[in-house]
Structure 1
Amino acid sequence: MVVTEPIQTDIALPGFKSLVDSKHGAYLLPLATTVLLFVVWEVSVRLFSIPEFILPAPSAILAEIPQWGAAVAKNAWITLFTTVVGFLMALVLGVLLGFVIGYSKLANLTIYPLLIGFNTIPKVALVPLMSIWFGIGAVPAILTAFLLAFFPIAVNVAIGLATVEPEMQDVLVSLGASRFEIFQKVGLPHTMPYLFASLKVAISQAFIGSVIAETVASNGGIGYVILSASSSFNVPLAFLSLLALAVMGVALYGIFVVLEKRFVRWL
């Protein structure tokens, strides 16, 4: 019989595990990964002599800031405004509809299938129609952001309420608790993880909706800048706009991560 030593699959580098587990590791590791990505990007473009109109190097993208930084920042605020407004609309209506679907069997059987059917429609197909109905501007971008962010919020809230243990509700009912008290004591805490998970997805979807609408039915915003830059083959400007969009998305995602840790302490 041959006795072999167990293979150790968890190889820990000196100090690496402590960095991962530390509080600062949550900020330093993503930052280091981002810096490494840009370094590899820069070296690859220069090493393989990739033309700027195909893939500009990060240095070429940053070189556009003196000339186009103010314009990108102005249009970024437009995109941020339409995204946040559409997202807030989706948050309010999504939570309300999710509450109705989660607590009402009739609504689950009637509204939920319609909601799924509407979600299968590509929202980009609705943007030309909204430009006819509401004109060129912020309204189509807000509505597209709302439509893309609405579904994950409503579905996750409904699932969170529908999966509450019936035994816990029966105990509270036997103690004389009202329907609102059951929601406050059991339904809301059980739904919070589902809600925050949907918010982190929905804010990204809202950005996508705003940019899609801005490329079709707007005269401002990051989507409009990307379309204009691409039509004039100013690829570094297009990438600078994408970088601004990524920064805004990560910032809003981080806000919901902080709020989740603040309000969902049991996770």
Structure 2
Amino acid sequence: MPFLAMCSNCANIFLPSVMHNGELIVMSRRTLIKIAPWALLVMLGIVWQVVVVGLDIPGYLFPSLSDVCRSLVADWRPIAAHSLQTLYTTLAGFVLAVAFGLVLGVAVGASTLVYKSVYPLLVGFNSIPKVAFVPVLVVWFGIGTIPAIATAFLISFFPVVVNVATGLATVEPELEDVLRSLGASRLDILKKVGLPRSLPYFFASLKVAITLAFVGSVISETVASNLGIGYLMMSASSNMNMALVFAGLIVIGAMGVVMYELFAFVEKRMTHWAHR
């Protein structure tokens, strides 16, 4: 009973402020959601630093966070130059993947014949590790930017195709029958119903495709380029400069997160009607 009385007193103290300032709870929750990723990032950084320093792990095996930060500051010029190269190849491959994936996705989603013919080949192609294509691309185009763009394209177009085709497939057959009975052609149904239905799927695929494009670019740069973050990391690892290697990893992750959030913002702006 004393405990219940104490809880009742606490409720009497705090509940009025909550009831009169209902938005306070909402704002606090929103603030918590916003700071949660940063808080987790700081916690992981602290754990990283404490574990490496506490276990006295050699820097050539696993550098501490402070060593990585020093490398980011000391080598910011080459890191920035190679980051721009990686960003360029990633975006170039991504743009090609979106254009190709959108066209092919519409064809696959709109035609049963194309779906039955092409989709099994796409699944088989997507099952092949894209790093296996890099030596072939080097033979065809030489070492440089083109293999990185091509690898980014090859690894990122599949999600676009699948999502666009899936979005078109959500149009109910009953709805199509009704529209046809009202005089709508197949092209009209595709333009006015199918494509709007597939927009949320399309923009969702962009978030996946851009992160995969970074993977493809870096994979190619590690073995078939003399520019880019992948090349920088390989050069640093050959010199046992693991701090620079981890600095490159952090930069790649940061660029991926920024691009993901950018396309998430575009998705919400363009398909706000599809979000709660």
Q: Same fold (TM over 0.5)?
A: yes
How far apart, in 2, do the equivalents of 1:209 and 1:139 lie? 12
Normalising by the residue count of structure 1, what TM-score does the alignment of the two structures yield? Answer: 0.89
Partner residue, 1:133: 140
Q: Distance in 1 between matches of 2:143 and 2:25?
A: 53
Out of 224, 227, 233, the residue aligned to residue 226 of structure 1 is 233
Which residue of the partner structure matches residue 9 of structure 1? Answer: none
Instruction: Name the structure with the higher helix share.
Output: 2
User: For 1:194 and 1:92, how far apart are their aligned partners in 2?
Assistant: 15
Q: Is the 8 A contact 1:211 1:221 kept in 2?
A: yes
Q: CA deviation at 1:176?
A: 2.0
For structure 1, the residue ranges without an aligned partner over 5 or more in a row are: 1-14
| Residue 241 of structure 2 is aligned to residue 251 of structure 1 | no
Offset at residue 198 of structure 1 (A): 1.6
| Cα offset, 1:72, TM superposition | 0.6
Amino acid corresponding to residue 155 of structure 1 in structure 2: V
In structure 1, C-alpha distance between the alignment counterparts of 2:37 and 2:25, rounded to whole Å: 15
Q: Distance in 2 between matches of 1:75 and 1:20?
A: 40
Is residue 110–residue 190 contact of structure 2 (8 Å, CA) maintained in 1?
no
Structure 1 residue 261 corresponds to structure 2 residue 273: no
Q: Relative to structure 1, is the Cα distance of residues 47 and 20 closer, same or farther in structure 2, using a 3 angstrom cutoff?
A: farther
How far apart are the structure 2 equivalents of 1:156 and 1:65? Answer: 38
Alpha-carbon distance in 2 for matches of 1:17, 1:34: 25
Q: Does 1:73 align with 2:91?
A: no
Cα deviation, 1:91-144, whole Å, max 9, x if unaligned, reads 000010010011111111111111112112211111011111101110000000
| Residue 8 of structure 2: aligned partner | none
Paired amino acid for 2:247: L
- 1-side partners of 2:114 and 2:28: how far apart? 45
Aligned to 2:242: 235
TM-score normalized by the length of structure 2: 0.87
| Counterpart-to-counterpart distance in 2, 1:185 and 1:219 | 48
User: Map of 1:1-267 to 2, 5 A cutoff?
Assistant: 18=26, 21-22=29-30, 24-265=31-272, 266-267=274-275
Give the AA of the match of 2:156: A
Partner of 1:238, secondary structure, is helix
Q: CA deviation at 1:19?
A: 6.1
Summarize deviations over 1:56-108 as a string: whole Å, max 9, x none: 11111011133311101100000000000000100000010010011111111
Distance 1:95 1:172, change over 3 A: same
For these two proteins, the number of residue pairs brought into alignment is 252
How much has 1:163 moved relative to structure 2?
Answer: 2.6
% same residue: 49
Task: Give, as a single letter, the amino acid of the residue that structure 2 aligns with 1:165.
Answer: E
Contact 2:93/2:213 (CA < 8 Å) preserved in 1?
Answer: yes
Assess, with a 3 A threshold, how the Cα gap between structure 1 residues 110 and 255 changes in structure 2: closer, same or farther.
same
Structure 2 residue identity aligned to 1:161 = L
CA RMSD of aligned residues (A): 1.8
Quick one: distance in 2 between partners of 1:25 and 1:135?
50
Superposition deviation, residue 235 in structure 1? 0.1
- Taking the aligned partners of 1:65 and 1:190, their CA distance within structure 2 comes to 44
Q: For the residues of structure 2 that align with 1:259 and 1:25, how far apart are their CA atoms?
A: 23
C-alpha distance in 2, partners of 1:165/1:123? 36
**Residue 26 of structure 1, CA deviation:** 4.0
Q: Gapped runs of 5+ residues in structure 2?
A: 1-17, 19-23
Note if contact 1:55-1:235 (Cα within 8 Å) is conserved in structure 2: yes
